Amino acid sequence: MRAMLTVSRRDLRALFDHPTGYILLVVFLAINNFLFFRTTYLIGVASMRPMMDLLPWLFLFFVPAVTMRSLAEEKKAGTIEIVLAQPISELEYLLGKFLAQVAFVWAALLLTLIIPAGLSLGADLQMGIILAQYFGAALMGAGFVAVGVWTSSLTENQITAFIIGVSIMFLLVLVGLDPLVVGLPPSLGAIAARLGVLSHFANIGRGVIDLRDIIYFVTMGAAFLSLAYLSLMRRKLAGGGSTLQRLKLGTGLTIAILIVVNLFGGRIGGRLDLTPGKFYTLSDATRSLVEGLDDIATLRLFATQDLPSEIQLLKRDVDDLLRDYRSASNGKIRVLELDPDESEEIAQEAQGYGVPPVQFNVVGESELQVKSGYLGLVVQYAEGTEVIPFIRRADDLEYRVSSFIRGLTNTDIPTVGLFTTPGDPQQPTTFNNLQSILGETYQVTSVNLPLDSTFSPDMKALIFAGDPDSIGAADLVVLSDYLANGGSAFVAARGMSVSLQQQQQLAFADNVALNALIEPYGISINSDLVYDLASNERVSFNSRFGRVAMAYPFWVRPISTKASVLNQELEGLFTPWVSTIDTSGAVAGTVTPLFLSSPAGGVEAGTSFLSPNREFPRDSLVAQLVAVQVNPLASDSSDARGRLIVTGNSDFIADSYSANAPENIGFVLNAVDWLAQDEGLIAIRAVNRRPPQLAFTSDTKRDLVKYANLGGVPILVVAAAMLRLVRRRRLMSMEYSREGGAS
């Protein structure tokens, strides 16, 4: 062990005592930081994902450049024989080399930690996910270093070692991707997908440290180090004797065992979920639900084995979730996985349940191919059946399955009323997505004004998605009585009328008819429009230079206060053209702010120009309140009115905007559960995986973070290099003499 650490320290010192090491660090940091900020500032979210997506491709060149001289240089100089003549074994020597190169690569990763430190100035980072991402990057870097050490052991030429290393790592990155596996049989394609680097690294990058991924990188590194050990020993055992043959056989068996462990390691459970709210871990509410089942529920998963690689990762999440259901149910959940490609009977059974084949576009070696596959789920309990024809996401799967089980076991389905306004007749606003998802848990009834027989005072909650032009006196009395008697409502309306005609994009102050309904709570929606100069969405528009993408302050991404069970797991929403909420008349203790703009928020009243390339006032910028929760029973007052949720916008749950912002629908579902006092579902709601919005309070701070990483970090590395190299040169030029003697 001491000899191994001595070799490691010597090699690591050599990397930092030579300009090449610093040049590699500067080039790596400059390219990584430039490409990261180019992407991150464009999408406007505080996430390390852009860097992690690029990192495997940067490592393709950075790691071979670091490792190419580790063994090749000593073989060429002939010093390897001198070193191995010392009391050190070949294994200790090899591991010392490996540890030195790993330490250097990890040092490069540590220097990128300045990036999340800077992003923390503009957002509340998801530190658990970032920790998992760096852990995965460290594992991948160590695996690639093992490849580089092996290629360096094959030759005395560093350039040759570099080229071979890049080629092998490139193959490891590509294996498992569709262009390589599209023509393979299903079984071989599944094996190839598990042998690829990207799928394992992407899984850890989500924030889940999975034992299967750790096994993959450990076995990959061990396999290539075994090959490097064989290459070292060949020099000592030249001549093709029996000892060398036994070594080759032992190395081959070792690698075969590692591959088997790698493949069968995919069946080993065990993971650490570091995501906020533990996205990938079964909730306590679901465990209580399935443990209390009176009969057996059957989950039939119809899945094709030969799925595209990007669906394979989703399939793994589905398998893990269903396995968790089965484990938590104490035998009350039965999981059956069926492959419709195996027999015509299974295919007919799937289609009989309403699970059709779905077509995928797969890029082959020389053409675009269309393949069909199944990934649908059927939930059965007693005589009831619920179906997910195709599983497109894993983040909402627990909620959907649990709500199905809850619905099948509960015959008393609560009713909610949904009032919508179509908006512009030329471009009517639709809420089909919201209505469909609500229908999985509630009986949804359309409510119209004037009120007719469809309105029932027994409804658990009313949802106003849009502001009616007016509310008749008789209807206002009925609705006010509904709330006064304990009924609850979700009110989503805007205080400005938006006109998006081609020649005139304006917003005008409008009367909010629903204010008459919510004013007894001391709440009202203001006739204004919020703009946010820091936390907003980007839009593209036509200019004389073509299509241009730019930040649009009127498309606000308000930030969650996380002050309620409704928004604890949400980072924010997407609200186009939202108005502020006035709570000045509310009883103290009854109002909980849910979402606010960033501190760079402002408001405009009267008439507002909606053009994205206009100038916005920068004086009097403060956080603007755009959504609140009202619970009259939270105060000491005797007011027994029902619960209330108020937002200054209804477009955010319309089909045209919520399709790309699932967190919006998730928030409404949480709100309806709270209003209906069915809060058990909130605990298993699909949480928002969107990273927090990047909202710097000033352009100066934003630019400081960017240029401190682009220029500051590389400059610090250069300064450290100059200090160390100058000091080393001075030491090398000193004349030494015996103590007390002449020089």
Domain extents for the chain? 2-276, 284-388, 415-677
For the stretch 210-254, pLDDT in tens is: 888 898 899 999 999 999 988 888 776 655 667 777 878 888 888
Q: In the prediction, which pLDDT does 301 show?
A: 93
Residue 335: Cβ-neighbour burial (10 angstroms; 0-12, 13-18, 19+): middle
Residue that the structure tokens 């004086």 belong to: 619
Low-confidence ranges of the chain (pLDDT < 70): 85, 176-193, 236-241, 265-269, 309-310, 313, 361-370, 411, 423-427, 502-503, 541-548, 634-640, 679-681, 683-690, 734-743
Element (H, E) at 643: none
The pLDDT value recorded for residue 207 is: 85
Helix axes 90-111, 127-153, angle to 10 degrees: 140
Domain 284-388 belongs in CATH node 1.10.8.60: no
Burial class (CB in 10 A: 0-12, 13-18, 19+), 341: middle
The pLDDT value recorded for residue 365 is: 46
**Angstrom distance (rounded) from CA 82 to CA 651:** 75
CATH of 415-677, picked from 3.30.950.10, 3.40.50.880, 3.30.720.110, 1.10.3720.10, is 3.40.50.880
pLDDT score, position 366: 46
If we measure between CA atoms, which residue out of 252, 250, 236 comes closest to residue 88? 236
DSSP 283: -
> What is the distance between the alpha carbons of residues 343 and 357, in angstroms, rounded to a whole number?
14
Q: What is the pLDDT of residue 517?
A: 92
pTM of the shown model: 0.69
Looking up tokens 């240029």 gives: 707
Separation CA 311–CA 313 (nearest Å)? 5
Q: Measured between alpha carbons, how far is 209 from 11 in angstroms, rounded to an integer?
A: 31
Residue 253: count other Cβ atoms within 10 Å of its Cβ: 11
In angstroms, how far is the first alpha carbon of the chain from the final one?
39
Q: Which residue has the tokens 């591991």?
A: 95
Q: Residue 541 pairs with which residues in a beta bridge?
A: 548
Question: Residue 273's beta-bridge partner residues?
Answer: 208
Taking the C-alpha atoms of residue 76 and residue 69, their distance in angstroms, rounded to an integer, is 10
| Omega before residue 691 within 30° of 0, cis | no
- Measure the CA–CA gap between 412 and 218, rounded to whole angstroms: 52
Strands 488-492 and 496-500: unpaired
Interacting residues of 283 by C-beta distance below 8 A, sequence separation 6+: 398, 683, 684
pLDDT of 409: 83
Alpha helices in 265-422 (DSSP H): 284-291, 309-328, 344-353, 397-409
CB 626 within 8 A of CB 575: yes
Q: What is the dihedral of CA 309, 311, 314, 320, to 10 degrees?
A: -70
Angle at 308 between CA 307 and CA 314, to 5 degrees: 80
- Nearest partner of 321 among 269, 375, 282, 264, judged by Cα: 282
Distance between alpha carbon 711 and the CA centroid of its chain, in Å?
28
